[in-house]
Structure 1
Amino acid sequence: MDEVAVIDLGYNSIRLSLFQRGERNTFRTLGSMKEFTRLGEGVDEGGEIRQEKIEEAERVMIKFRSVLERRGVETVHPLGTSAFRLARNGEEVSKRLSKALGWEIQIVPGEEEGRLAALGALNSLPFTDGVVFELGGGSLEVIYVENRSLGKIFHFPLGALKLTKTFGSEDGMRKEVRNYLFSLPSWVVPNMVGSGGNVRSIGRLLMRMDGMKFSHVHGYKVTHEKVKSISKTLWSMNLQEISSLPGIGKERAPTVKAAIVVIEELMSLFDAPSLLVSEFGMREGKVMRGEEQSVAEMRDGWLESMAYFMNVRPPREIRLEAEKLTGSEIAGISAYVSHIFMEVGWDDPFDACYRYLTYSLFPGFQKRDLGIVSLVCKGASSKVRKKDLQRLGVDSKLEKIEAMSKVVKTVVKKFPLGVY
């Protein structure tokens, strides 16, 4: 399995992400580094990236180059986005930073940025039709998805940092966003999926407010009503108050007001009942090779990659046996993940399964379904209580989870070699 690095030179920040690529469209994130350089600050159409920003970005590139060379990474994809597209000196700056980095920076067109972001979401979340958007610091990409295939892609200069620097009032900002979004083809969408740093921060804030225990927000569903409510709250607060909110932090605080306006206007335009948050965007889409054509294929790919990354043969028969005995895919997946931890050598594979699914980013599921899977694992190790259901956003009956847990424990223990 090869290691691939993607460097996202964005309008607001520069991030290095390192991945270990698996089969199909799967990977494991090995780590990341980020610096808020704000390359696009003050850059309008035809303007220039400022000298002090270039010098700061050069220092970041030199640091990233040292890390990549010491790690021995050979495949590196440096991607320049909206700041480079907008700036009059974008090409010149990309060449200068490429020299500091040691790999050539590719200036990505807006449509390609949207395509990659949509791939990241489509290949890691269970939805078939809808609209995917990626909200960056300098631009917004909107992508139509039908029958799990990418359709039309639209690109707008509506990034959160750009809007924040241009407009001082909420009314002016909303008018600007509406003027651009008015050109989008109308469609009442069954699903809306959003990615980008501010989208993740707002998702984390709402997840914490819901009292949910998950460490990652990937697959978390936010209702339109909650978006409208948090929008009013954020616009009533000052910068210091916003920066103290859980999930936001001081780096995102200046731009979340603009971000929530864009999100709210998109959801209103498409009459979207909810927003599904994706932690995968352009960087992850660059690692992927194409579109998975069904939710089942996508999910199976991530489950198998988990086993392979842990040097374990995928325990498919264990999954099928638990499904057959319970009639539930959830029980089958709980047994599958628990069995992997048993083969790896954990004393309590069921508790390991529970902790792994709640603290790790596990693609292929919405948070509600992942919560049920993890609680079925927990039930095979210890007692599940009603407060556990609340903390993971699960609305299933406790008795049903306990019944599945008993079957999962029996199947995993009965077939220690994964076959029967």
Structure 2
Amino acid sequence: MGFSTVGQHYQALVDIGSNGIRFSISDLSPPHSRSMPTIYQDRSGISLYDAQISSGTKVPIPAAVIEDVLTALQRFKRICRDFGVDDSNVRVVATEATRNAINRDHLLNEIGQRTGWKVQLLAKEEEGRLGAMGIASSIDYVEGICMDMGGGSVQLTWVIKQPNGHIEMGPSVSFPYGAAALISALSKLGSQSGNDLQADITTKLEAALENDLRIPSTLLEAAKQSDGFNIYLSGGGFRGWGFLLMSNDKNQPYPIPIINGYSVSSSTFFSKLSEPPPDVASHRISSRRQSQIPAIQLLIRALAQSQMHVSTVTFAQGGVREGLLYGGLPLSVRAQSSFVAATLTYTPPSAAALLSLLRNATPECIDHELLASTVNLLYVHGPVSKDVRACAALRSTTTGILASANGLSHRNRAFLALVLCERWGAGVPNADTEFLFSITRICGPSISWWAKYIGRIAQGIGNLYPAGVVRDDDNKVALEAIFPPAKRLGWDKGSEALGSQTESCHVKFTILSNDIETVGLVNQWATDLTKLGKKKHWDRDILGLPVNVEVTRKGI
């Protein structure tokens, strides 16, 4: 499909920030509108914040820097033309550094004359709201405090994302404590004054928590039950800190190179607050971000000392640009699971019937979205050589077809990777063995076993229906299953153990066809499931349950 055909669904965005200018073109065509796939993205390292304070006092944006901005925008205008994006589908926004520039009006006039684009200056409150909306676009489940750290400022707000796509959001509170702003302040202060600045930030954070954010009682009660708030972080400074934590994660080498959806405990988040790491490249932090680590550490120390008790911290890729796109989607689209939306393109012909089979053999507590995504991807790796299907499927959620999928948590990426690997027999070469075990550790021992279980059910379904077609007159098998009580299945968040080995899963296959091949496939399927329930067949870091399988013939 050419660009001219689908260009009507393309949305181009320019975010003129304090640390740089970001450009993107996103495809909002159905059925993957919810995923907001980015077909082009780029960043110019022009720092309008630095340009105004390079002499130590605030000055107008220099003419040479304005020319650099115009050159970058004109280049993007040509790129938009090549992608078939009409000017009516291009939006340009600017934040702190442009908003407060002495010669702001001159810059905006020059942009209008040279590109024909009008720049929307975002007020502090709107910038915070859009940043929080961008976080909501990046994570399916959001209930807590959102913080977006730019170059010039930090925005805070509370967010509750409803299943129907509606976003409840509090007032946005902005502080002039962006990464570049804090570095500038620290360069002028001694160590004692730096401590004073940290104390001042702590005081303001506590005041925001107590008064300005107006956190609802439901969120306060949830935080009380969880020993702290769930915190969601966006912005380059925070993401840089997330990459640093990822590189020091106890699960090494950490197998998912995507910052979006990476979660850590509060104790992990507040660690590593001393000296910055000497090796920039190994942490995937740019030299500019490296120079800003002292500022990021200062803000995090202030947060640690505040009364904003933290339970978990999740890093998000989404920011202002993603918030603009997501906020414009209909509620019905925003309500879609990002997991399912990312896989809709691959839906097999009889997806509903296949999902019903999978659902019948799976505990009710396992998320419907996980199963629907499994069905959608059931045949994707079929064209791949059989020798590498399992390892291609294993890596599909990290560096394969779902690498760019928006909104997936790391646990969901890991879970689906294990399911799809098992669906194709789980035979991975030695080069992928450690990656497999690292992915397993993200899920934990019991969740990993359920991934293998679902993968084997999916493998049997795929073998019976190789084209993904279930005809009304050709039903081959019926499935039923009985499981231990949900609380002993080891599926709950953070659970590390299943019920005792006196408990087991009971799966019943009823063969509805007299076809000899079908009988053979079902019997082999039953044997594979039975093996999964035996300890001697469990891989490293796996903890499962016995599986009792019964096979009967209709009418026999």
TM-score range, shorter chain: 0.7 to 0.9
The whole-number CA distance in structure 1 between the counterparts of 2:453 and 2:103 is 64
1:115-160 Cα deviation digits (max 9, x unpaired): 1121122133132420111111111111111354112211121110
Structure 1 residues 83 and 394: alpha-carbon distance in aligned structure 2, compared to 1, 3 A threshold: same
What residue identity is the alignment partner of 2:172?
I
The one-letter amino acid paired with 2:362 is: T
2:151 aligned with 1:137: yes
Q: Which residue of 1 aligns with 2:113?
A: 99
Aligned partner of 2:176 in structure 1 is 157
User: 2: distance between equivalents of 1:232 and 1:171?
Assistant: 14
Deviation of 1:59 (Å): 2.0
Q: CA deviation at 1:312?
A: 6.8
CA distance in 1, matches of 2:274, 2:372: 40
Find the aligned partners of 1:157 and 1:54 in 2 and give their Cα distance: 23
Q: Percent identity?
A: 21
Q: Which runs of 5+ in 1 are unaligned?
A: none
CA contact (8 A) 1:124 1:298 kept: no
Displacement of 1:216 in angstroms is 0.9
Aligned partner of 2:451 in structure 1 is 401
User: Counterpart of 2:12 in structure 1: which amino acid?
Assistant: A
Q: Does 1:53 align with 2:70?
A: no
Q: Is the 8 A contact 1:335 1:409 kept in 2?
A: no
Aligned to 2:549: none
Equivalent-residue separation in structure 2 for 1:92 and 1:175 (angstroms)? 38
The match for 2:371 among 298, 309, 332 is 332
Which residue in the other structure is 2:90 paired with?
76
Determine whether 1:258 maps to 2:332: no
2: CA distance, partners of 1:230 / 1:197:
18
The 1:38/1:298 distance shift into structure 2, 3 A limit, reads same
Secondary structure, counterpart of 2:261 in structure 1: coil
> Are 1:364 and 2:407 matched, yes or no?
yes
- Root-mean-square deviation (CA, aligned residues, Å) is 3.0
Structure 1 letter corresponding to 2:422: G
Q: Distance in 1 between matches of 2:434 and 2:466?
A: 31
Q: Against the structure 1 CA distance between its residues 242 and 108, is the aligned structure 2 distance closer, same or farther, given a 3 Å change threshold?
A: farther
3-state SS of paired residue (1:7): strand
**Can you list the C-alpha shifts for 1:22-78, whole angstroms capped at 9, x where unaligned?**
456431111211111111116479753233322221221222222222222111111
Deviation sequence 1:275-303 (CA, Å, 0-9, x none): 1000111111111235887999341x552
In 2, distance between residues paired with 1:123 and 1:386?
32
- In the alignment, structure 1 residue 111 sits paired with structure 2 residue 153: no
How many Å separate the matches in 2 of 1:103 and 1:144? 33
Which of the residues 116, 120, 125 maps onto 2:139? 125
Rounded Cα–Cα distance in structure 1 between residues aligned with 2:29 and 2:286:
33
Q: Deviations over 1:80-139 (max 9, x none)?
A: 111111212223212212333331111111211111121122133132420111111111
**Structure 2: unaligned runs, 5 residues or longer:** 1-5, 163-167, 211-219, 471-556
Q: CA separation of 1:251/1:414 partners in 2, compared to 1, >3 Å: closer, same or farther?
A: farther
One-letter amino acid matched to 1:282? V
The structure 2 residue matched to 1:379, chosen from 422, 440, 449, is 422
1:25 to 1:307, Cα distance in 2 relative to 1, 3 A: closer
Query: Does residue 1:12 correspond to 2:19, yes or no?
Result: yes
1:196 to 214, 235, 248: 235
Aligned partner letter, 2:292: T
Alignment match, 2:216: none
Structure 1 counterpart SS, 2:273: helix
Contact 2:26–2:39 (8 Å) recurs in 1: yes
CA distance in 2, matches of 1:305, 1:394: 21
Per-residue displacement from partner, 1:318-360 (whole Å, max 9, x unpaired)?
Answer: 34432331223376145224226158x4456654443220221
Match of 2:204 in 1: 180
Q: What is the match of residue 321 of structure 1?
A: 357
Structure 2 partner of 1:34: 43
- Answer whether contact 1:177 1:265 (CA < 8 A) is retained: yes
- 1:306 maps to which of 343, 366, 371: 343
Tell me the secondary structure at the aligned position of residue 133 of structure 1: strand
Verify the 8 A CA contact 1:80 1:108 in the aligned structure 2: yes
CA distance in 2, matches of 1:5, 1:80: 14
Cα distance, 1:400 vs structure 2: 3.5
> How many pairs are equivalent?
412
Task: Name the CA distance, whole Å, in 2 between partners of 1:66 and 1:367.
Answer: 36
Give the superposition deviation at 1:268: 4.8
| Residue aligning to 1:231 | 273
Task: Answer whether contact 1:3 1:20 (CA < 8 A) is retained.
Answer: yes
CA apart distance, 1:11? 0.3
In structure 1, how many angstroms separate the alpha carbons of the residues matched to 2:445 and 2:348?
A: 31
Task: Check conservation: 1:22, 1:28, Cα contact below 8 A.
Answer: no
Instruction: Choose 245-254 or 129-138, whichever is displaced more.
Output: 245-254
**Cα pair distance change 1:98/1:49, threshold 3 Å:** same
Say whether the 8 Å CA contact 2:381–2:393 is kept in structure 1.
no
Cα distance, 1:396–1:267 mapped onto 2, change above 3 Å:
farther
Q: Note if contact 1:12-1:40 (Cα within 8 Å) is conserved in structure 2.
A: yes
Alignment match of 2:460 (pick from 410, 413, 418): 410
Aligned residue type for 1:56:
D
Which deviates more from structure 2 when the two are superposed, residues 100-109 or residues 260-269? 260-269
| Contact 1:193/1:278 (<8 A) preserved | yes
* TM-fit CA distance, 1:417: 4.2
Separation in 1 of the partners of 2:334 and 2:15?
Answer: 30
Corresponding position of 1:390? 438
Secondary structure at 1:364's aligned position in 2? coil
* 2: CA distance, partners of 1:265 / 1:291: 36
Structure-to-structure mapping, 1:253-292, within 5 angstroms? 253-266=290-303, 268-269=305-306, 270-289=308-327
Distance 1:419 1:324, change over 3 A: farther
One-letter code aligned to 2:111 = L
**What's the TM-score once normalised by structure 1's chain length?**
0.87
Distance 1:103-1:155 versus aligned 2 partners, 3 A rule: same
> Take 1:103 and 1:311, find their aligned partners in 2: how far apart are those partners?
39
Tell me, yes or no, if the aligned pair for 2:13 and 2:321 is still in contact at 8 Å: yes
* CA distance, structure 2, for counterparts of residue 318 and residue 261 of structure 1: 52
If the length of structure 2 is used for normalisation, what is the TM-score? 0.67
From the CA coordinates, give the structure whose radius of gyration is larger.
2
Match of 1:341 among 377, 380, 389: 380
Query: Aligned-pair distance for 1:246?
Result: 1.5
2: CA distance between counterparts of 1:293 and 1:192? 24
> Offset at 1:230?
1.7
Moved more, 77-86 or 370-379: 370-379
Residue type of the partner of 1:357? Answer: T
User: Given the superposition, is the C-alpha separation of residues 166 and 333 from structure 1 closer, same or farther in structure 2, using an over 3 Å criterion?
Assistant: same
Distance across 2 between alignment mates of 1:221 and 1:380: 27
